[in-house]
Amino acid sequence: MKRIIFTLLIIVLFHGVLFADSAMPVTENLVQIVHPAENARLPALASTFVYGSAPPEGRLLINGQPVPIHPGGGFLAMVKLAPGEFQINAELQLNNHTYRFTRRIHVAEPEKPAPESPLTIEYITPSEDMELLPGDYLEVTCKGSPGKTAYFTITGVKGKFPMTESPTRPGIYHGIYRIENNDKLRKAKIQATLDDHRHRRETKESEGTVSLFPNQRPVMVETISPHTVLYAGPALSQNEKAGYLLFPPQGTVLQITGSRGNEYRVRLTGTKTVWVNKNRVKPLPEGTPPNRSVAGNVTLNKTGNSTLVRIPLGRRIPFEIIPDVEGKYIDIFFYGAFSNTDWITNPVIGAVKQVRWFQDDAETYRLRIDTVPNGWWGYDARYEENRFVLELRTPPPLKVNASPLEGLTIAVDPGHSADTGAVGPTGYAEKDANLAQALVLKQRLIAEGVKVIMTRTGNENVPLNQRPAIAWENRADILISLHNNALPYGGNPFVKRGFGVYYYTPMSLALAKEIHQAYVETFVAGSEFQLRDDGLYYGNLALARAPQMPAVLIESAYMIVPEEEAYLKTDAFRRACADAIITGLKRYAGQMRRK
C-alpha cells in the first residue's frame, strides 16, 4: 500500500509540474545578454548598446522596448541608462511562454560641481611626486566651491600664488609657478586655499610633492628593453600615455632632466624633450658625460634586396626617422651628435640616389637619404655595437607576365588568441573569426605564388610584440593583420559599423589606401554583403607600427552587429574579404615592383 501511495504521489507531482509549465512563466534562459557583462562598471553615460541572442521566431523586449532578432539569433539595442545600480531586463515571448533574463550593471555618477556651501575643496593636483629644474613651471589645479578667491602655497617657498577659476568649468581653479634657482624644494607639499567674501577659508594639501631635480652634473640612463617607447609628453592619466614618438634600441643613452610619477623627462636637445617609463631604463655611473657624439664617414653598400647605410657614432644615441610620405627621401635626426662626415662612400647605390648631411643645430645631426621613386618599402634601424645601421628594403623584382604577388613573402596575423578579442551576440569569438579569415586568405595568397608566414595557426598564445617580430624574422615583405571590430561603452553601433583599414608608418599608407578602396568596391556598391565604409585610419597599433615592411591592420566587420557577426560565420564572406585584400595587394605590389 505504501508503495502504491508513493507512486501515485510522484505521478501527481509530475503532472503538477507539467501543468505549471503550461500555465506559468518559464525562467529557462533562451534569451542571453552577452554585453555588458554582469556587474560591469560603466562610466557616466546616458545610454549604451546591449547585445545578445534569442530564438529568431520570438518577440523580444529590452527594458520594455521591442528589439528585432536577426535570423542568425543575435540582437542589438541601445538602452537608456541611469546612475547607480542598473538592470537591463530582457523578456522573450515564444510559444505562449515568457522567458526572462536580467543583467545587473553599475553606472557611474556624472561629475558634479562642488557645493557652494559648506566651503569645499575636493582635490588638488599634482597627485604624483615631481622633480623639476629651475625655469620649469609647476602647474596646480584644484576643484572646489565655485565663485571663490583661490591661491596656492608651496612648502619652503615664500608667497601666495593666485589661481584663476575656469570660465567653462565653475569650481575648477588653475595656478602656475616658475621654479627659481634659489628655491629649496625637497618633497615640498602644495596647499590650495579657497576664501569666500566672509573670510571663511578652506585649505587642502596635495598628495604629490615637488622637488628640485639634481642639476650639478648630467643624469644619464640607458634603455634596458628592446620595447622602450619615448612619449611626446607625460602620461595624461594612470591608464593613458601621451603619443608614441621614438622607439630607441636597447642600450640607447639618454639624459634625464626631471620626473613625474613613474616617468622621466628626457632631454634630446635644448628645445626638444620626451618622456620614458622609469622601468625601461637603468642609471649610468655618476660622471657619465651627456650625448655629444661625432658622426663619422657614411658608408653604403647593397646586399640582396637591401641597401645598407652605416655611420659610426661612438655611442648609442637617440634618433628619429621621418620618411617622406611619397617615398622620395628619408630624414634621420641624431640627437646629441655633430658632423665630422668628410666622406660618403657609394652615395648612389641600390634604392639610394644621393646622401646629404646637415647640422640643424649644435646638437642635431641630420642625414637625408634621397631615394629612387618606388624604390623601397620598409626599413630596419638598429645599432651594431656603436655603429648606426639603416637597412633600406627594396621590393623584389617581378618576372614578366607574373602575378604582382608572385615570389613575395607575406605575413598574415590572425589577431588575438589567449584573449578572445570581441565577442559577438551569439558568442562567436573574434579570435576564431580572425583565424577563419586568415586561413582563407592564406590559401588565396599561396595560389598567387606567395610564401605565407602565419603568426598563429590555432589557439596558441602569441604575445602582441612577438607578432611583428615573427614577420621580420622571416623577412616578410608585407604584413597583414586581420581583426574584427567592437566599440567602447557609449558608442553607437547603429551608426559606426562596417569595415576599416589602419596604417601607422608613411610607407604603409599607399598599401592601406589600395586595400581600403578594394573593400569599398567589394562591399559598398550593391554587393551580396552590405557593409558601411568605416574609414581609412592612421592608428597607433602594434601590428601597424612595424617599419621593416608595409603593414596594415584590417577590421573587416563589427563583431557586435548581429548581421555582421552572421556574415563572419560564412565561407562566402571570408572569400569576399580575401578577394578584396588580394586586389589591394596586387594593385600596390604592381606599382612598387619593377619588372
CATH number at residue 354: 2.60.40.3500
- Domain end position, chosen among 212, 235, 265: 212
Average pLDDT value over all residues in the chain: 93
Amino acid 423: pLDDT: 97
The grid coordinates of residue 544 equal: 601597424
Across the range 161-181, mean pLDDT stands at 96
Do 174 and 143 form a contact (C-beta atoms < 8 A)? no
Across the range 206-217, mean pLDDT stands at 93
Amino acid 526: pLDDT: 75
Across the range 471-498, mean pLDDT stands at 97
**From residue 463, how far is each of 97, 419, 467, 543 by CA, in Å?**
47, 10, 7, 11
Residue 39 has pLDDT above 60, yes or no: yes
Of all residues in the chain, what percent carry a pLDDT higher than 90? 89
Comparison of pLDDT for 413 and 29, the residue scoring more: 413
Residue 324 and residue 274 share a domain? no
Total number of residues shown for the chain: 595
Amino acid 13: pLDDT: 32
Across the range 406-420, mean pLDDT stands at 96
- Which of 491, 534, 515, 495 is closest to 587 using CA atoms? 515
User: Helix or strand or coil: residue 178?
Assistant: strand
Q: Write the pLDDT tens digit of every residue in 372-409.
A: 988 999 999 999 999 999 999 999 999 988 999 999 99
444 alpha carbon, distance to own chain's centre: 30
The boundaries of the domain holding residue 70 are 32-107
- Domain end position, chosen among 107, 132, 164: 107
- Domain end position, chosen among 170, 189, 212: 212
Across the range 43-58, mean pLDDT stands at 97
Do 323 and 288 form a contact (C-beta atoms < 8 A)? no
Amino acid 6: pLDDT: 37
Amino acid 26: pLDDT: 47
CATH of the domain at 156: 2.60.40.10
Amino acid 59: pLDDT: 97
Q: Write the pLDDT tens digit of every residue in 1-28.
A: 434 433 333 333 333 332 333 334 444 5
E-strand ranges in 247-405 read 253-260, 263-269, 272-277, 281-283, 293-295, 298-303, 306-312, 319-323, 329-335, 337-339, 344-345, 352-361, 364-371, 379-384, 387-393
Residue 522 and residue 442 share a domain? yes
Amino acid 326: pLDDT: 86
Other Cβ atoms within 10 Å of 582 Cβ, number: 21
Letter for the amino acid at 180?
E
| DSSP annotation of 383 | E
Q: Write the pLDDT tens digit of every residue in 294-341.
A: 999 999 999 999 999 999 999 999 999 999 988 899 999 999 999 999
pTM over 0.85: yes
The grid coordinates of residue 116 equal: 557652494
Residue 446 and residue 491 share a domain? yes
**For residue 367, is it within any domain?**
yes
Furthest-apart CA pair in the chain: how many Å?
115
Residue 378 and residue 298 share a domain? yes
Amino acid 28: pLDDT: 59
Amino acid 227: pLDDT: 92
